[in-house]
Amino acid sequence: MKLNITPRAANLQYAIRDIVVIAKQYEKQTGEKPLYLNIGDPIAYDWKTPQFMVDALCKAAQEGWNGYSPSEGEPELRRAAAEKEKRVNGIDIDPNRMIVAAGVSEAIQFLSGALISDGAELLVPGPSYPPYISYVKFFGGNPVAYRTIEEDDWNPDTEDLRNKISDKTVGILVINPNNPTGSVWNEKTLKEIVDIAGEHGLPIISDEIYDQLTYDEQQTPMVRIAGDVPVIGFNGVSKVYLAPGWRVGYAYFCDSNRELDPLYDAMIRQARIRICLNSTAQIASIAALRSDGSHLKETMSKMRARRDLIHKRLNDIDSISTRLPEAAFYIMPKINLQGRWLNDVEFVKDVLRETGVVFVPGSGFGAEHGAGHFRSVFLPPAEMIDEAMNRLEGFMARH
C-alpha cells in the first residue's frame, strides 16, 4: 500500500504525552509501574470530581441529554460560562459570542485553523503550553517565543516581546496563570502587553484555564485591562472543577467594535465540521460553572502543602533549583547539566530509565526558553512526591 503521510502530521510532537512511550518501555522491562509526574490530570491521583458534578452528569444522561447539541455549545452552558466570568473575574462576556470546545486544546486548534496560514507568526510565551506550538506549526505557521524571565518569577520580558513583532505577526498569546511555570503575571506587565498589542493592531489570546487556582496573588483577567484591544479568551471546567476528562472548554470574543467577528465565524465553521461537543457533559458543566466554588478551599489547601513540599525537596537537591509556583500545579526546575547530559531531554530520559520517575523535558515547552529545565506536577499525595524526590536525589548523587 502506498501511503503519503504529510510531514505536518508525521512530525507532530507533544512532549507531555510523548514521554509516556518511554515510561511504558520502563514498565515492560522492569515490571514496575513508573511514578508519573508528567500530566496535569488531578483524577490520575487522589483527587475526585465534586460529587454534585457527578450527580449532575448522571441526571443529564437520565433526563435525555444524549443527542446532538448546537455546534457552538448549549445556550444555557454559554450563559453559565458568561455568569461565571462576571462573578469570578469581573468581566462582561456575551454568551452569543462564545464557542464551547473539547477543552482549551480544541479551541487552540480552531484558533490556529482560522488565524494561521503559511508563514504567519503567533507570539507565544517562552516556555509555553505545547499545543500552541504544535498547532501553529501544523497549520503552516511559526510560533515565535518571547522570553519570560525566570529570575523575575517567570514574568514576560516585554521588550523582547516587542522586538519579536514582525509584519507576519497575527496575535499575542498570554497564558496566565501559566503552564508550565506556575507563574502569575503581574498587572503592570499585562498592561505593557496590552499597549504593545494596541500599538500594532494585534489581538490578544488569553488562556486563563487556571484562573481560580492561585495561592496568594490573584490573576488579572486580560479583558479587564484590555480596553479597546480585542481579546479571545480561553477557559473551561477541566482544572478548577477537577473534570479534565469531560473535555468542556470555551472560547469567548471580547472587542468593542466587533473586529473579531470574522475570526469567530471562521472558528465556528470548524466547530460545525466536528458536529458538537458531548451534550451530557455540557449540561453537567452548567452545575459546575454556577456553583459557589466551595470545593476550592480544600483543593487549594492540599495543593499548597504539596507545592511547598516539592519546592523544598527540589531546591535541596544538588544541581537543581526552582522558583516557587504562584498558581496551578506545575513546577519548572532548572538543571545544571554540567556536561553530564547533552540536554534536558537526555536528562529526563536517564532519570526515567534509572529511577522510574516521569518528568517532561523543558524543551518540550519551547526549544529556546524551556531548555535546561524539566516540568513536574505536584498533584500526587505527599508520600509519592517524597518517593519521587528521594529517587531523583539518589540519581543526582550517583551522577
- For β-strands 142-149 and 320-321, DSSP reports them as unpaired
Say if 1 falls within a structural domain: no
Residue 2 in any domain: the answer is no
Q: Measuring CA to CA, which residue among 108, 99, 101 is closest to residue 171? A: 108
Poorest-confidence range of 236-240, 283-287, 366-370? 366-370
| Residue 125 and residue 27 in one domain | no
Whole-model pTM: value is 0.94
* Grid cell in block for residue 230: 480585542
Q: Does residue 14 surpass a pLDDT of 80?
A: no
What is the CATH classification number for the domain harbouring 309? 3.90.1150.10
Last residue of a domain, one of 244, 262, 289: 289
Q: What is the pLDDT of residue 113?
A: 97
**Considering 273, 289, 305, which residue would you say is the last residue of a domain?**
289
Same domain, 238 and 377: no
Helix 130-138 vs helix 103-115: angle between axes, to the nearest 10 degrees?
30
Across the range 147-151, mean pLDDT stands at 97
Q: Are residues 110 and 192 in the same domain?
A: yes
Quick check: 383 pLDDT over 90? Answer: yes
Buried-state track 95-108, b at ≥16 Cβ within 10 A, e below 16: bebbbbbbbbbbbb
Range of the domain at 387: 7-48+295-398
Question: What's residue 5's pLDDT?
Answer: 83
Cite the beta strand spans of 267-337 per DSSP E: 320-321, 330-331, 334-335
Report the alpha-carbon distance of residue 261 to residue 309 in Å, rounded: 47
Mean per-residue pLDDT, 2-17: 80
User: What number of residues does the chain have?
Assistant: 399
94 and 38 fall within a common domain: no
Tell me whether residue 334 is in a domain: yes
Find the mean pLDDT for residues 4-8.
83
**3-class secondary structure, 368:** coil
Q: How do residues 64-103 score in pLDDT, each as one tens digit?
A: 999 999 999 999 999 999 999 999 999 999 999 999 999 9
The model's pLDDT over 104-144, given as tens digits with 9 standing for 90+, comes to: 999 999 999 999 999 999 999 999 999 999 999 999 999 99
Q: What's the pLDDT score for residue 169? A: 98
8 confidence band (pLDDT: 50, 70, 90): confident
Do 163 and 306 have their domain in common? no
Q: Give the confidence band of 4 by pLDDT, cuts at 50, 70, 90.
A: confident
